[in-house]
Each structure stands twice: as C-alpha cells, then as structure tokens.
Amino acid sequence: MRTFVHSSRSSRVVFGFGTVDRLREEVGRLGCSRVLLLFSRVPADASARVREALGDLVVAEFDGAVMHTPVEVTEQALAVLRDASADCLVAVGGGSTTGLSKALALRTDLPQVILPTTYAGSEVTPVLGETRDGRKVTQSSAAILPETVVYDVNFSSTLPLGLSVTSGVNALAHAVEALYSAESNPLTDQQALDAISRIARALPRLADDPADPAARADLLHAAWLAGTCLATVGMGLHHKLCHTLGGSFDLPHAETHTVVLPHAMAYNAPAVPEVMRRIADALGAADAPSGVHDLVTSLGGPTSLRDLGMPESGLARAAELAAATPYPNPREVTAEGVAALLSDAWHGRRPTGGPAPAGDPLALLTDQVVASFAEAPDPRVRVLLTDLVRRLHGFVKDNDLTDSEWQYAIDFLTRTGQISGPTRQEFVLLSDTLGVSSAVDLLTNSRTPETTPSAVLGPFYVEGPPETALGNDISGGLPGSPLWVDVRILDTAGKPVEDAVVDVWQSNEDGFYDVQLPDLDGPVLRARLRSDGEGRITFWSILPSAYPIPDDGPVGQMLAAVGRHPYRAPHLHFMIDAAGHRRLITQLFVAGGDYLDSDTVFGVKDALVVDFTPHTGPTPDGRRIDGEWRRLDYTFHIAPLAG
Ligand code: NAD
C-alpha cells in the first residue's frame, strides 16, 4: 500500500479548438466587465481574434510582458490597470505574460483568465517568480492562481517548431520531476505519465507538420497535465538548477530546461531506477535520460549550455549555488556531482547509462559530426556549423534523400560556382531567389527599426564605381525617361550626414546592367557620389526598368523547374557609407512598376516603394528637357555605429 497526501486548488479549465470565443462568457462568469488585456508578441491575427471575442469588455491593453517578470514592468502595467479601473485580467501569451498577470493579481486581487500560447504550464500554478534588482524571487499564494484557463489549441499552433520543442520539454520536466517528488501521489503519477507520453508522441509529429492539429492538441493537453503536477507536488534538482542558471546567468527559460533535463535525470537515475523505467516506457525509449536527449536531438533542439551562452567559467559557481541549500531530491545533491552534471550539459554530451539509440544510426552520426566541432575556438562558428549540420542531416532524413538526388545537388552547386565570375554572381542569385538574402535582411532591419529598411545587394554591384560630382548625369547618354534624383541622408536623430559615400547602380531602359552589355564602353548607370553639408546628393539618370535576372544558368533552371518568372520589379540601388554610421544597402522601387507583387528575389518592401513623379517643363537645375521627365525625392535614415 502506498501512503500519500493529495491536496490541490485548481483553476476552471476550458479546453478545445476555437475556445477563444468563450472568453467573454468566462469573464462574465467571474462577474467582471472591465478587462485589462495582456499580450506579448503573439501573432497579430491572434490578438485580433481575442479583441473580437471580448468586444467592448476590453478597457485597456498592455503588451510589454517580458521573461522573468521584472517588477518595473509590473508597475507600468499596474498604472495602466488603475487608469482604466479594470476589474479583471485576461492574459494571452506564454509563461511571461501569465507571470505579469499573476504579479498584477497578487497586487490587486483581481481575477484572471489566461489563454496560454506555449506549454510552460504556469497558468495552472499558484507560483510566481519575480525579478527585482536582477534577483529572481519565487513565492506562492492563493491570489496568484488564475481563476480560469481557456486553452485554445489554435493559439498554440503558431508557436514555431524550435520554441514548441523547448516549451514542450519544459512541460516534460514538470512531469518527470513530479514522478520522483517526495510528494508524488497516484493522481499526479497518472497525470505525469500521460503528459510524458503525449509529449513524446506529439513533438516528432510537429517536425513533419508544425500545424498538425492533433499533435498540437496533445501538447497543450500535456502542458495542462504537467502544469497541474508542478502546482501540486514539489520539484527537485532539475528545477532548482534551471532556476539558478536562469537567475544568475540570465539563460533563456525553456531552452535551459531542454538542455539540463536529460542530465538532471541521469544524475537522479541511480536513486529512482523504477521511476526512470516508467518514464522510459512512457517515452517509448530504452532509457529515460538518453531517450529525452535523443528526442531533443532528433528535433534539432538545443543540447548544450555552451550554445545558450553559459560561460564555462561559471559552471563551478552554478554548482555551488545549486548545492548550497538543501532541498528535496531523490539523490543527495553535492557540489561535485552537480559540477559533473553541468559539465556534461555544457558540452552537450549524450547522457551515458542508456544504449545508443538502436535503429537510429543517423542520429548517432549527427551527434558524431556535431561533437567534432566541440573544440572550435570561435563559439559562433561552432554554433552555426552545429545547427547547419543538424538541419542538413534532418533534411536528408525527412526527405528520404536518394544518392542521385544528392549528386544532383552537388552538381547544381558545382555549376553555380563554375558560372560565377567577377561580373556574374550566381551564388548571390541563388541566395536571392531562395529568399535567404531577404531573410537576413529582414532580421537586420528588425534590429534597427528607426532606420530606412535595407534590401538585398543583388548580383550587379561592382566595387569602386566612378566618382562623379553632384548634379551630373550618370546615364552615359543611354536612352530612357530622364530621372532627377534628389535624396537626403540623415541620421536617426534627423541630423544631415555630410560626406557620406553613396554608390548608386541601376538597369537601363531594356532592363540590363552595364556589366551585362559587353559592347558598352565603360561603367554607366553606376556612380559614387558624396553628400553635401545638407546630407544631400543629386544626379540625373534614367527611369529604371523591370528586368529578368540572368536565367541561363543553374538558378534559371531552378526557377523554370518550379514555374517561376525571373523578373525583378524596377528599382534603383543605393549603398551608403558614412564615417561612424552603419552601412545601408537598399533599393528604391518605382511605384506602379511591374512585378512589385512577385519580385523574383522577394526584395520589395512597402517602405521602399516610392513615387518617381512625372513632370514636364523646367527642371531643378535648368537642364532643358522636351517632354516628360521624372523626379525621385527621398530621405534615408542611417544608424550610428553601436557603442
Ligand atoms: P515566453 O512567454 O517568454 O514565450 C517565449 C516566446 O514565444 C516569446 O517570444 C513569445 O512572444 C513567443 N510566443 C508565445 N506564444 C506564441 C505563439 N503562439 N506563436 C508564436 N510565438 C509565440 O516563454 P515561456 O517559456 O512560455 O515562459 C517562460 C516564463 O514563464 C519564465 O519567466 C518562467 O519563469 C515562467 N514560468 C513560470 C511558471 C510558474 O509556474 N510560475 C512555470 C513555467 C514558466
């Protein structure tokens, strides 16, 4: 017979697809009518659905929740809450948004309705971790436990695969530690084992189809079960370690859980072999700790603390901190034991104790290759190569790649290299037409939202274009609609940037660049100008035209194979370099031009589509033009160099 105590306080739970539509009713059940809506970076259509569902109940919104619930943010949200005289909190997001809601509820005793969008499980616990002056302090109280949780599977379906894996393993960690908790009982055991098997089955299905509704439903169901375990029984070494690493070394929450869990399990395994056997069965693995490691590895999840930014020099201190105060754990926690555990986690080693994953030699091969990067002196090189190899191996496996398909790929890349030269950049074209250049570019822009968006360099830039004076004509007399360009370069504070070196280049009326026209004499439609004291450059040129990228090489074959056209929307290129500022490479697109919606390199951004206004009559510099000419006015904003 097993002796146990079970005690729980639970939230009301509404679970399903489309349950967002129940939010209004659930707020009403609590007797409330003035909602403060809390968000943090959930997709725009999700926030729109919540607003629609709540309608006029929403009296204020706050979207500033961040990880680890810093009190400064809570105070900002509290001011919004009080200004709006809200009588209820509705939080839509991951554990960070739930944390903010809990912090507000603790201070105001207002009821909470949480719609979770990750698998963190915080929504069903009476626990809050708050950060003040860089220290995270955890407390538990009845006022913290949300009254109602509305689980809408649709809202978790947009969580990207990487975050789904780490968040899923965060839930797995609650279930694993509940099973060997001193307070475990038959009910939490059942909940935990159910959660583990749902997570182990669902995560691999997401790798095939990240939106798989049944897999998403399983994961959210598991998140609820695992969160309930976390709320009911005490956790052990794993949670303590993750708390220490997150709090003292600012490591990301779910990722840290993902890396540490297999190693904490391996540490505890000798003390609870029977529990580990049950976990292994639920996972469908031969061994629990290495089973979790293999699951994470097969999904491309993080496996090493080093890759999360943990300094090796901090390991000993983390071990001391984790072992300093005694707490319940099935195996005695010693500083040396934890140091060895952390060293394994830092290096990303596969926990020993279990057999190599039988039947999956590919996973072993991937691990071997990744391990071969372990001593790379540049950590960034190691991270990038590790991830590249994992994804490439995953690509080979997921698509069941044949030898001849891989040979074709090698041949394709070989031909891409062979056709490239000083004036033909096939690799740039490949990167552009696969959208990779624009993806890098989008990331770059997102870091400096106050500057003019950048755009891809494209394959036709030539180093060192001819210097020309302001106001000159760079068209070399080629036919086309005359174009007067008058652009200013300002910094992010609006101050003119003098002496900026501005390279411009463009296509001719027929859509060709000079380097594509061997009969042309010298560089034309490209030049280097320097901005004056007002940060201004002016020059004459001709209206650029739409044009096909060179499609007589491997990239053209790829476009043909998928039925894509090779055209670029008409545009003018700019590369702006100024001392003390970040380089800006961008393009201005002709409003109303062809292919703006289907630019073959995915380079068009709304902010860069501008009027090239038609004019007749006098020109800005008195040049005589019969008939129509165009004028481009634009202001670029460039960012100062950081630091
Ligand atoms: P999070 O809430 O910070 O979310 C992680 C990222 O996912 C964010 O960038 C968020 O914008 C994005 N995101 C969330 N849902 C999304 C969706 N559906 N689609 C696309 N993007 C989405 O991270 P988390 O792991 O959910 O929560 C971590 C926080 O929760 C930590 O502060 C941790 O301490 C706390 N936590 C508390 C408890 C508890 O019981 N008190 C339990 C677990 C976690």
**Same domain as 200, residue 147:** no
| Ligand 1 pocket, mutate which of 68, 117, 174, 216 (most atoms under 8 A from CB) | 117
Ligand 1 atom with minimal separation from the 246 CA:
34
What is the domain-level CATH number for residue 454?
Answer: 2.60.130.10
3-state SS class at 40: coil
Nearest-CA residue for atom 40 of ligand 1: 122
**Same domain as 146, residue 110:** yes
Of 119, 143, 158, the domain-final residue: 158
- Cβ(104)–Cβ(78) below 8 Å: yes
Write down the residue that tokens 């052990």 correspond to: 236
Phi, psi (rounded to 5 degrees) for 251? -85, 150
Nearest-CA residue for atom 36 of ligand 1: 95
What is the domain-level CATH number for residue 24?
Answer: 3.40.50.1970
- Residue closest to 39 by CA, chosen among 80, 91, 88: 91
**Same domain as 23, residue 128:** yes
Of 338, 369, 398, the domain-final residue: 398
**Same domain as 377, residue 230:** no
- Residue 566 Cβ contacting ligand 1 at under 6 Å: no
pLDDT profile of the chain (643 residues), mean per 10: 85 97 98 95 87 97 93 97 98 97 97 98 96 84 96 95 97 98 96 97 91 96 98 95 89 96 94 92 91 92 94 92 88 90 92 56 82 80 83 89 96 97 90 94 80 88 94 94 97 96 95 84 92 98 93 96 95 97 95 95 93 96 94 96 71
In a domain, 334, yes or no: yes
* Rounded Cα gap, residues 588 and 573, in angstroms: 7
User: What distance in angstroms lies between residue 220's CA and the mean position of ligand 1's atoms?
Assistant: 13
In a domain, 264, yes or no: yes
In a domain, 171, yes or no: yes
How confident is the model at residue 355, as a pLDDT? 41
**Same domain as 120, residue 137:** yes
| Ligand 1 pocket, mutate which of 10, 67, 137, 138 (most atoms under 8 A from CB) | 67
**Same domain as 325, residue 178:** yes
How confident is the model at residue 356, as a pLDDT? 43
How many structural domains are present in the chain? 4
How confident is the model at residue 480, as a pLDDT? 95
- Residue 254 Cβ contacting ligand 1 at under 6 Å: yes
- Residue 67 Cβ contacting ligand 1 at under 6 Å: yes
In a domain, 422, yes or no: no
- Could you please report the per-residue DSSP string of 514-530? GGG-TTS-S--SEEEEE
Nearest-CA residue for atom 17 of ligand 1: 159
- Residue 121 Cβ contacting ligand 1 at under 6 Å: yes
* Rounded Cα gap, residues 95 and 97, in angstroms: 6
Composition of the chain by helix, strand, coil, percent to 5: 45, 15, 40
User: What distance in angstroms lies between residue 591's CA and the mean position of ligand 1's atoms?
Assistant: 41
In a domain, 403, yes or no: no
**Domain, as residue range, for 578:** 436-638
**DSSP alpha helices (H): ranges in 125-183?**
153-156, 161-179
**Same domain as 575, residue 560:** yes
**Same domain as 515, residue 552:** yes
How confident is the model at residue 354, as a pLDDT? 44
Question: Strand pairing of 35-39 and 58-62?
Answer: parallel
User: What distance in angstroms lies between residue 119's CA and the mean position of ligand 1's atoms?
Assistant: 8
How confident is the model at residue 643, as a pLDDT? 54
User: What distance in angstroms lies between residue 253's CA and the mean position of ligand 1's atoms?
Assistant: 8
| Ligand 1 pocket, mutate which of 38, 47, 98 (most atoms under 8 A from CB) | 98
**Same domain as 68, residue 178:** no
In a domain, 581, yes or no: yes
Sequence-distant (≥ 6) Cβ neighbours of residue 85 within 8 angstroms: 34, 59
How distant is the alpha carbon of residue 534 from its chain centre? 39
- Residue 249 Cβ contacting ligand 1 at under 6 Å: no
| Ligand 1 pocket, mutate which of 122, 238, 251 (most atoms under 8 A from CB) | 122
**Same domain as 333, residue 203:** yes
* Rounded Cα gap, residues 365 and 360, in angstroms: 9
**Same domain as 171, residue 126:** no
Burial of 1 (0-12, 13-18, 19+ CB in 10 A): exposed
What is the domain-level CATH number for residue 196?
Answer: 1.20.1090.10
pTM: 0.61
| Ligand 1 pocket, mutate which of 74, 118, 144, 260 (most atoms under 8 A from CB) | 118
In a domain, 213, yes or no: yes
- Cβ(16)–Cβ(115) below 8 Å: no
- Residue 96 Cβ contacting ligand 1 at under 6 Å: yes
- Residue 157 Cβ contacting ligand 1 at under 6 Å: no
User: What distance in angstroms lies between residue 392's CA and the mean position of ligand 1's atoms?
Assistant: 28
How confident is the model at residue 542, as a pLDDT? 97
How confident is the model at residue 359, as a pLDDT? 57
3-state SS class at 543: coil
- Residue 129 Cβ contacting ligand 1 at under 6 Å: yes
In a domain, 514, yes or no: yes
Of 158, 183, 205, the domain-final residue: 158
- Residue 600 Cβ contacting ligand 1 at under 6 Å: no
**Same domain as 140, residue 243:** no
